[in-house]
Amino acid sequence: MALPNLIIIGAMKCGTSSMHNYLDAHPEIAMSRQKELNFFSFDRNWHRGEDWYGRHFSATAAIQGESSPSYSKFPKVPHVPERIKALIPSARFIYLVRDPVARIISHYMHLYVGGREERSLNEALTEFEGNHYVECSRYYMQLQQYLEHFSQSQILVVSAEEMKEKRQETLREVFRFLDVDETFRSPRHDAIYHSSKPQGLFRRWAERRRFARTLRPYVPRSVVYWAATQGPKQRAVEPPSLDKDVRESLCDYLREDVEQFRSQVGRAFAQWSI
């Protein structure tokens, strides 16, 4: 058993699945087979204890890592940096970010298509203060939660735009940060990975073993199979349109956080809309 010394902390919809796979391809890095362990964010996992968490890792590589975007969802998900500090104070972190408005729209689409959001995009953004979509794009605010407990030298910020347009150069920077061979190159670096594929609402749950174990004692196997393969399909959805006045107000609301973030990490993020 080992504990990780690398954690990808988000942000959601910024390429954490791809980064997880790119790092796992490196011979000096072993990422957890299950991507989102959510140990420090979900109380039900935290209470399972260090032994449960440690069983997801083995001391077979210099870098052991995991990726959980829920680790940068403050204030909805509190106490994450404190918990990490208590268990692995020398951990290094990768924080993936993206144009804040584009991330919000992608976050909204993720929940809407999955059936967990019924409002239109504009309705979901009628208020910005305390709005979970918006809070996850306040990168400076999220980063400050970690800087209260860790040094900035332990945290590498990577933009999704850089990963898309300058992938090998960006990965070399990541590998240097982790003190592993920065010249390593893998065919896996050419792919784009997603945390989940579009699926029917029943199928997502039926594929989980817990759900299957619950059904099997009570219903025929054919019913379980139907739920997993032929259940109600995901709703069709057109790409949402954000009203111009909502977009302008959202940009105004986020602008101070974006400027503070740029100053904190010393990066321009020139491609962003804010």
206 and 147 co-located in one domain: no
147 and 186 co-located in one domain: yes
121 and 208 co-located in one domain: no
On whether residue 271 sits in a domain, the answer given is: no
220 and 91 co-located in one domain: no
49 and 172 co-located in one domain: yes
On whether residue 56 sits in a domain, the answer given is: yes
Residue 224, domain extent:
199-233
62 and 187 co-located in one domain: yes
11 and 134 co-located in one domain: yes
On whether residue 272 sits in a domain, the answer given is: no
45 and 72 co-located in one domain: yes
Number of domains in the chain: 2
73 and 204 co-located in one domain: no
pLDDT in tens, the chain (274 residues): 689 999 999 999 999 999 999 999 999 999 998 999 999 999 999 999 999 999 999 888 999 999 999 999 999 999 999 999 999 999 999 999 999 999 999 999 999 988 899 999 999 999 999 999 999 999 999 999 999 999 999 999 999 999 999 999 999 999 999 999 999 999 889 888 875 444 444 444 444 444 544 555 566 554 544 454 444 444 455 668 899 999 999 999 999 999 999 999 999 999 999 9
Q: Show the tokens assigned to 190.
A: 């050419």
The CATH number for 88's domain is 3.40.50.300
Please write down the HEC assignment for all residues of 76-144. Answer: CCCCHHHHHHHHCCCCEEEEEECCHHHHHHHHHHHHHHCCCCCCCHHHHCCCCCCCHHHHCCCHHHHHH
On whether residue 270 sits in a domain, the answer given is: no
